[in-house]
């Protein structure tokens, strides 16, 4: 049995509720490139704690409303 | 690098230059390093020009007008270097230098096996060139797959 950790995010949903904020607008607010926003949104990159706070700040919400921490336990190839 | 191989090894094979003529190899390598540096600067300038033109055309088509300051602002936004870019850069440099390091060890092995100094010089130059190319390819890979 091995534990796997994964960081998920609600950026797409939050952008929608923020009057369909574009990725470029979010990038400008968080001080990052649009490519990084795309990567984070797609779960291809886990941002640093500082950047995670900046993204949460851009939406005006708590960091836990943007990012979530999932724990998965894998049992011999299967997932639990 | 392909141009270097064709030029240098072609000259040696034609018999114009002795294979262990170190001055020839040093001159050729220095010239090709210079060509590489100039080529990369030219490519960057051309890329920036094309990017500016593309942004200006897109703005013209979308909004019907195009301002120089707006184009500059868009380029600045596109060129922001953040933590992901730095991380990708560091990871690819590590891989590139690993290849260069392997080349250095191969050089020492070649000396142990009594190969000429010209072979040593070529292995170092080629391994560093391959390392740089792999660094670029790795950067692309990390941007596509994620870090």
User: What distance lies between CA B43 and its chain's CA centroid?
Assistant: 11
CA distance B78 to chain A (A): 6
Please say if the pLDDT value at position B45 is more than 90.
yes
Helix (H) and strand (E) counts in chain A = 5, 3
User: What distance lies between CA B110 and its chain's CA centroid?
Assistant: 25
Question: Which one is predicted more confidently, A3 or A21?
Answer: A21
Q: For the segment B81-111, what is each residue's pLDDT rounded down to a tens digit?
A: 889 999 999 999 999 999 999 999 999 999 9
Contacts of B83 in chain A (CB under 8 A): 32, 36, 47-48, 51
Q: For the segment B55-79, what is each residue's pLDDT rounded down to a tens digit?
A: 888 878 877 777 777 777 777 777 7
pLDDT given for residue A80 in this prediction: 45
Residue A58 neighbours by CB under 8 Å, 6+ apart: A26, A29, A30
Residue A21 CA to residue A13 CA, distance in Å, equals 10
Residue A7 CA to residue A51 CA, distance in Å, equals 14
Residue A35 neighbours by CB under 8 Å, 6+ apart: B84, B143
Cβ contact, residue pair B77, A47, below 8 Å: no
Residue B22's pLDDT band, with cuts at 50, 70 and 90, is confident
Q: Taking residues A27-48, what's their average pLDDT?
A: 92
Helix (H) and strand (E) counts in chain B = 5, 0
DSSP string, B53-75: HHHHHHHHHHHS---HHHHHHHH
Report the DSSP beta bridge partners of residue B147.
Answer: none
pLDDT given for residue A74 in this prediction: 65
Contacts of A27 in chain B (CB under 8 A): 77, 80
Q: How many residues can be counted in chain A?
A: 80
Burial environment of residue B65 by CB neighbours within 10 A (0 to 12, 13 to 18, 19 or more): exposed
Average pLDDT, chain B: 87
Question: Which one is predicted more confidently, B3 or A55?
Answer: A55
Q: Taking residues A57-74, what's their average pLDDT?
A: 87
pLDDT given for residue B1 in this prediction: 77
Q: Which residues of B touch A (CB under 8 A)?
A: 77-85, 143, 145-147
Average pLDDT, chain A: 87
B141 within 8 A of A40, measured Cβ to Cβ = no
Please say if the pLDDT value at position B137 is more than 90.
yes
Q: Taking residues A60-67, what's their average pLDDT?
A: 94
Share of chain B above pLDDT 90, in %: 47
pLDDT given for residue A1 in this prediction: 64
Residue A37 neighbours by CB under 8 Å, 6+ apart: A11, A23, A26, A27, A30
ipTM of model: 0.77
Residue B82 CA to residue A40 CA, distance in Å, equals 13
């Amino acid at each position: 049995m091995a534990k796997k950790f994964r960081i998920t995010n609600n950026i797409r949903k939050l952008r929608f509720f923020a009057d369909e904020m574009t990725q470029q607008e979010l990038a400008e607010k968080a001080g990052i490139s649009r490519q990084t926003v795309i990567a984070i949104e797609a779960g291809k990159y886990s941002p640093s704690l500082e950047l995670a706070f900046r993204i949460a700040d851009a939406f005006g919400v708590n960091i836990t409303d943007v990012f979530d921490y999932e724990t998965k336990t894998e049992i011999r190839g299967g997932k639990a | 690098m392909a141009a270097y191989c064709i030029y240098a090894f072609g000259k040696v094979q034609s018999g114009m230059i002795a294979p262990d003529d170190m001055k020839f190899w040093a001159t050729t390598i220095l010239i090709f390093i210079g060509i590489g540096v100039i080529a990369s600067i030219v490519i960057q300038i051309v890329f920036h020009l094309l990017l500016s033109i593309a942004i200006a055309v897109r703005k013209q088509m979308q909004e019907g007008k195009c301002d120089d300051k707006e184009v500059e602002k868009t380029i600045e936004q596109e060129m922001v270097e953040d933590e992901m870019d730095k991380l990708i850069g560091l990871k690819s440099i590590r891989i590139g230098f690993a290849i260069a390091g392997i080349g250095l060890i191969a050089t020492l092995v070649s000396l142990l096996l009594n190969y000429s100094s010209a072979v040593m010089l070529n292995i170092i130059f080629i391994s560093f060139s391959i390392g740089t190319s792999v660094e670029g390819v790795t950067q692309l890979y990390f941007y596509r797959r994620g870090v």
